[in-house]
Amino acid sequence: MAAPDLVAAESAVDVAEGVVANAIRLLAGRNIDDHQVVAYDVAHAAAALDSARTMLDYGGLGDIEARLATAFVADAVADLISKVAGREEDWDAKPDAFESTLPFVRDHRAPAFLAALAADGREGGPRHLDADFELVQDTFRRFAEEQVKPFTEHVHRTNADVPETVISGLAELGGFGLSVPEAYGGWATGGERDYLGMVVATEELSRGSLGIGGSLITRPEILTRALVTGGTEEQKHEWLPRIAAGEVMCAVAVTEPDFGSDVAGIKVTATPDGDGWRVNGVKTWCTFAGRADVLMLLARTDPDRGKTHRGLSLFVVPKARAEGHGFELTQDEGGRMGGRAIDTIGYRGMHSYEVAFDNWYVPGTMLIGGEAGLGRGFYLQMEGFENGRLQTAARAVGVMQAAFEAARDYAEQRTVFGHPIADYQLTQVKLARMAFLIQAARQSMYRVGRLMAGGEGALEASMVKAYVCKAAEWVTREAMQVHGGMGYAEEFPVSRYFVDARVLSIFEGADETLALKVIVRRLVERLAG
């Protein structure tokens, strides 16, 4: 069995990056929409190689780290080879482009290498967090174990509401104030520790439950970022302390029935009415809209639809709390708001709503940024959404970690043909792949968090979201498969991990749109710049 070879791994990444760069140059001179299949594969390959670079650094921290890193790099390069095979002209790749990488890939994808990694990397490898973040991890893991997990199966199986005790407990822990600046009652100090604290906490909460754990802090995070970036001082002092304290819970109303990731075309309007605005239209996939105290609403304030995203503005829309799967609200000002929950196969507890507005009155003070915020709504919501993509990666890592632990433990306990299934090579290779995918995702989100803290990393956040969420589907599926028939039984939580993971590539930017409209286009721009 080969020893982990980081030098060969780096050389393989260099070769793979060269192939991807050639494909990007080719796409730069073409209409991307006429070459969507290759562009999609290029986006995911670039994302995988970005994580591979991160894992090369991680691999230098110890032996198990090196083995996880080289296994991941070999896996990523092998996946790229399969994407290019038969489509060399579309990638501008020579037939022997990967020849020099094959000995490395062969050695580090060898079943014996991976089986040994499963045994020695049973815990998935060190995270290399400093003491402060180990404390954050321990604190939120304990909360998830003690206050989230006891409710997860009941909420999922009955499609119930998030328990109020979870919300109040998370508020007491400071979970809603992780990105709120200290000056407004939160914990954020303006450095990379804010981002790292957020992803560490999100992973641990999502390990407990995606629906009633990790996702609870996502919407407050998105609204917080929008307010910090573009809100007036009065708005910041009005809303941020209440968000940090958990006094105000948020939902995000951006998507519409005909406009999902293509938000520039949205139809919901906000028209002037005295000192305020009247909102009309329908939003959909508005998660937590029933229980929420406010909606972060993106609406068209300029009737000239030709202005697309430049005619949109962002509002904080207060509303009464509602329980269950539907609500009807009225105002003294004559407005109506109605919501119906959209039943989903997973990601239950918060409920995703279709919300209809009929002349709903919003005071002028609720326009984020005031008069200066007119037409800036798209940019302000993207400020939150780009960070939301990083947070979604953290949610995916938490779900993957839970699935990996469940598969590992079940494999060690379940005996088939006289042996625990953990003794069989096929199971060992599956567990090894889970371990290195999870660690690569985790280390990548740490790095992207540091980049975003420095005002960079928007492209990398999109890439890590795209790659990790696809990986989560594989990890949770194979964790379910390791359980055999019991994986298909609702009495084991692994089935919940599988259906929860499926939503990750859909929300916060559908995978195809993220790859074609964001990642590839930014890669082309970066190459040109």
Q: Is 82 helix (H, G, I), strand (E, B) or coil?
A: helix
Alpha-carbon dihedral 118, 124, 128, 132, rounded to 10 degrees? -150
pLDDT, tens digit, 9 for 90 and up, residues 191-226: 888 889 999 999 999 999 999 999 999 899 899 999
Q: What global pTM score does this model have?
A: 0.94
Rounded to an integer, what distance in angstroms lies between the CA atom of residue 202 and that of residue 216?
9
Angstrom distance (rounded) from CA 453 to CA 529: 22
- CA 261, chain centre distance (Å): 15
Strand partners, 402: none
Residues 36-43: contacts with CB under 8 Å, at least 24 apart: 36/516, 38/87, 38/90, 38/91, 39/515, 39/516, 39/520, 40/512, 40/515, 40/516, 40/520, 41/83, 42/91, 42/520, 42/523, 43/463, 43/466, 43/514, 43/515, 43/516, 43/519, 43/520, 43/523
pLDDT digits (tens, 9 = 90+) for 287-313: 999 999 999 999 999 988 778 888 999
Query: pLDDT for 14-48, tens place per residue?
Result: 999 999 999 999 999 999 999 999 999 999 999 99
Give the span between the Cα atoms of 237 and 218, in whole angstroms.
20
How much is the pLDDT for 277?
Answer: 98
Active site residues: 508
pLDDT digits (tens, 9 = 90+) for 253-298: 999 987 655 666 789 999 999 999 999 999 999 999 999 999 999 9
How confident is the model at residue 89, as a pLDDT?
Answer: 95
Q: What is the pLDDT of residue 259?
A: 65
Domain residues of the chain, as ranges? 1-109+427-440+470-476+509-529, 250-376
Q: Does domain 250-376 have CATH number 2.40.110.10?
A: yes
pLDDT tens per residue across span 133-147: 999 999 999 999 999
Please report, rounded to a whole number, the percentage of residues in the chain having pLDDT higher than 90: 86
Average pLDDT of the residues in 394-411: 97
SS3 299: strand
1-109+427-440+470-476+509-529: in CATH 1.10.287: no
Mean pLDDT in residue range 72-77: 98
Whether 463 has a pLDDT exceeding 90, the answer reads yes
Contact 148, 209 (CB under 8 A): yes
Mean pLDDT, rounded, of the chain: 94
